Amino acid sequence: MFSKVLIANRGEIAVRVIRACREMGIRTVGIYSEADRNAMHVRFADEAFLVGPPPARDSYLNVDRILKAAKQSGAEAIHPGYGFLAEKPSFADECETAGLTYIGPSAAAQRAMAEKTAARRTMQDAGIPIVPGTTEPIAGFPEAAEAASRVGYPVIIKAAGGGGGKGMRIVGSEEALADAVRLAASEVASAFGESAVYIERYVEPARHIEVQLLADNFGNVIHLGERECSVQRRYQKLIEESPSPALDDELRRRITDTAVKAAQVANYDNAGTAEFLLAPDGKFYFLEMNTRLQVEHPVTEFVTGVDIVKAQIHLAAGEKLRFKQEDIRPKGAAIECRIYAEDPYNMFLPSIGVIRAIQEPSGPGVRIETAAHHGMPITVFYDALIAKLITWGSTRREAINRMKRALREYQLVGVKTTKPFHQFAMEDETFCVGAYDTKYVQKVWGAQTKEVEDLFPVAALAATLVAHAGRATRHSAALQREIDSPWKYFGRREMMRRT
Amino acid sequence: MRYNTDVGERSFEIEIHVDDTGGLWATLDRTPYQIDLQCVDGQRLYSLMVGNHSYELFVDEVDGRYLVSVQGQLYEAAVRDARSSTAKTRATPLVPGTGELPVKAPMPGMVVAVHVAEGDEVVQGTRLVILGAMKMENEIVALRGGTVTKVQVKPGQRVGYGDLLLVIS
């Protein structure tokens, strides 16, 4: 086993990996940009190295500096977390060249999945259902038009070289196709450096189901059940849960079996996630394989009891899988709410500022993954994820009730967050019965601009009282020192005035 | 002291006063509440008791505006001194002496009970409606005597801020 690991990331996921390492007796090395000197992951790590200025391309993507830090610290392995250098096969190669173990799937496995049309061909050849569409990159408009009319409108245009919603465009008719292909290609080119796109039928309404996989280098592949991630805005997930309320036992068996088969045909190793679209008719289609630790991995950890980060480290160290499929017995239900610094009342636009006060929830069945702290600036440089709030319940209902309770406990002032949306969803009939799809946010929240009014009077009272107390204390700072509460002082002053 | 405090699109009239025993009271849209406010950490964490109803809050002042986090919801409030801001509210009497007196909901909530029916004679102080709001039951009393000419609500009904409950003539 490694004695020292470098975590090439920041924020909550760096803290998460440091925790796993510490429990395993592995020393940790953090990296940080000039903007992150005070960040939690720096304070948590045993050692930390400055790797550059705030912009990610100069620091968290600065491979030379990161490999230098690894060498200088004597780290034997690198965990990429998610984002930044995760899912960049060239980085896995560079680690290997530098004599470091990359904690994650091999560069070959990453490459096989990174080129989306090639991955679609691999899966199709293995008899795994894929969304009808092209299995080669589209060369130009005539080809796009031919493919689109073959699969049927509406279609979705996607980047052949990457995911994350970049370049995605839904097209309803041939008239709109030429422009859409051109725009998608240029957007994709600026994001991934190459302009290849492909076309799939746009399946709607659909649910987004993914299966967590673990694979060792001895040909063993197991799954840790599914996660449902249909609650999204801008193709980015807001709520995830396991198990999915959309699957019965039979469908669950078929979808998880398919995921395991996908990992086998791709000769996959370490942890990964197979993503599927589930159509209303019960048909499901392979979308892509995420060759990294997923943001939403804690929901699976909660129901299975498996520590996925530790499993990644064990597997990267060349160990055999410690579990067999029959050892995995998911229990209860878990839900994750992603708390972003975004204003849900204004189209989920980013909200920047400094966290001026924070109180995090705790108690039974509650887990919070965060690197947020009092005084933390939320900047434009990095992802706006403040925290992942995860609850477990013996039933889905209990997990929802716990989430409501935890969201109520979670107080944060300084930036706007997605909490009001989550509080709405946990009360919402459609979510509570599990009958939602990927259009959920659009359908139920839409252009919601109004806050919940029930607590307006309390907020008004509190603000007025604090303003008033401020007046009272300002009027006599000397007297105020002798008393423990502005209100007692205020009362005495009023009494004196009367007598 | 009287204040006009805006939260969202709502405006509240709040009067703060101290009774003979030194107890603090806040009258919010004509309903008096006994208040105890303690700053827990010397910074922004407060415990607010409204009667015996307990609220934990963060209150933060930024450029004269107040950010209030309560039960996980974040609100922004503007507090104005009523003396300086609203000469017009002073000019009109709070309760007209004659004519129709519409009785409106001082806050959003649920009608728990209606104590009067159309045609009833009421005097100042007669209990009219019990409104459940802010996790409390709030008595709405007659601010003037007269005859109940219209009852607009029934128990179990949800009402919004300013919705008509009944009319006294």
Mark whether A318 and A220 lie in a shared domain.
yes
- A150 belongs to the catalytic site: no
Helix axes A297-304, A308-316, angle to 10 degrees: 100
Query: A47 CB contacts (<8 Å, ≥6 apart)?
Result: A27, A28, A29, A30, A73
Give A470-485 as a DSSP string.
HHHHHHTHHHHTTSS-
Give rounded-to-5 percent helix, strand, coil for chain A: 40, 25, 35
* Token couple for A438: 């990927």
Band (A138; pLDDT cuts 50, 70, 90): confident
Instruction: From the candidates A16, A169, A233, A292, give the one annotated as an active-site residue.
Output: A292
Number of residue pairs across A and B with CB atoms under 8 Å? 171
Mark whether A269 and A344 lie in a shared domain.
yes
Contact between residue A174 and residue A154 where contact means Cβ atoms under 8 Å apart: no
- Give CA–CA dist A37/A376, Å, rounded: 11
CATH of B95-168, picked from 1.10.150.130, 3.40.50.1100, 3.40.50.720, 2.40.50.100, is 2.40.50.100
Confidence (pLDDT) at A228: 98
| A446-481 pLDDT, tens digit each | 777 788 888 999 999 999 999 998 876 655 443 444
- Count Cα neighbours of A193 within 13 Å in the Cβ-side half-sphere: 0
The length of chain B is 169
| A203-222 pLDDT, tens digit each | 988 999 999 999 999 999 99
CA distance A17 to chain B (A): 28
| A342-372 pLDDT, tens digit each | 999 988 999 999 999 999 999 999 999 999 9
Contact between residue A288 and residue A208 where contact means Cβ atoms under 8 Å apart: no
Choose the weakest-confidence range: A406-410, B23-27, B100-104: B100-104
What are the sequence ranges of the domains in chain B?
2-85, 95-168
Does residue A490 surpass a pLDDT of 60? no
Nearest alpha carbon to residue A444 among A414, A468, A421, A473:
A421
SS3 per-residue string spanning B106-168: CCCEEEEEECCCCCCEECCCCEEEEEEECCEEEEEECCCCEEEEEECCCCCCEECCCCEEEEE
Band (A491; pLDDT cuts 50, 70, 90): low
Question: What does each C-alpha distance from A273 to A14, A104, A224, B54 come to in angstroms?
Answer: 20, 12, 10, 45
> What is chain B's mean pLDDT, rounded?
85
Mark whether A377 and A417 lie in a shared domain.
yes
> For testing the chain A interface, which of B68, B110, B135 should be mutated: the one with the most A CBs within 10 Å?
B68
Interface subset of A 8-37, CB within 8 angstroms of B: none
Q: Which residues is B129 bridged to in the sheet?
A: B114, B140
Confidence (pLDDT) at A472: 64
Does residue A375 surpass a pLDDT of 60? yes
Mark whether A395 and A423 lie in a shared domain.
yes
CB contact under 8 A, A495 and B18: yes
Bridge-based pairing state of the strands B31-39 and B24-28: antiparallel
Mark whether A287 and A402 lie in a shared domain.
yes
* Token couple for A408: 């109520």
Q: Which residue of B has its CA nearest to A361?
A: B72
Does residue A412 surpass a pLDDT of 80? yes
| B146-156 pLDDT, tens digit each | 899 999 999 98
Using a CB-CB distance cutoff of 8 angstroms, which residues of chain B are in contact with residue A353? Answer: none
CATH of B2-85, picked from 3.40.50.10090, 3.30.56.10, 3.30.700.30, 1.10.3720.10, is 3.30.700.30
Residues A430-445 have a mean pLDDT of 95
Strands (E) across A394-488 are located at 411-413
A234 in contact with B at a CB cutoff of 8 Å? no
Choose the weakest-confidence range: A186-200, A312-326, B65-79, B154-168: A186-200
pTM to 2 decimal places: 0.82
Q: Which residue of B has its CA nearest to A413?
A: B69
Q: Which residue of B has its CA nearest to A454?
A: B108
Does residue A498 surpass a pLDDT of 60? no
Mark whether A440 and A466 lie in a shared domain.
no
Band (A380; pLDDT cuts 50, 70, 90): confident
Confidence (pLDDT) at B29: 81
- Domain count of the fold of chain A: 4
Does residue A385 surpass a pLDDT of 70? yes
* A73 found inside a domain: yes
- Give CA–CA dist A18/A29, Å, rounded: 8
For residue A464, give its domain range. Answer: 456-498
Question: What backbone torsions phi and psi does residue A40 show, to the nearest 5 degrees?
Answer: -60, -40
Domain boundary among A420, A445, A470: A445
Does residue A166 surpass a pLDDT of 90? no
Domain boundary among A201, A229, A260: A201
CB contact under 8 A, B48 and A461: yes
Question: What does each C-alpha distance from A397 to A227, A333, A408, A426, A470 come to in angstroms?
Answer: 17, 9, 17, 10, 44
> What is chain A's mean pLDDT, rounded?
92
| B42-100 pLDDT, tens digit each | 899 999 999 999 999 999 998 889 999 999 999 999 999 987 654 444 434 446 667 78
- Give CA–CA dist A393/A330, Å, rounded: 12
Mark whether A379 and A307 lie in a shared domain.
yes
CB contact under 8 A, B12 and A495: no
Confidence (pLDDT) at B84: 65
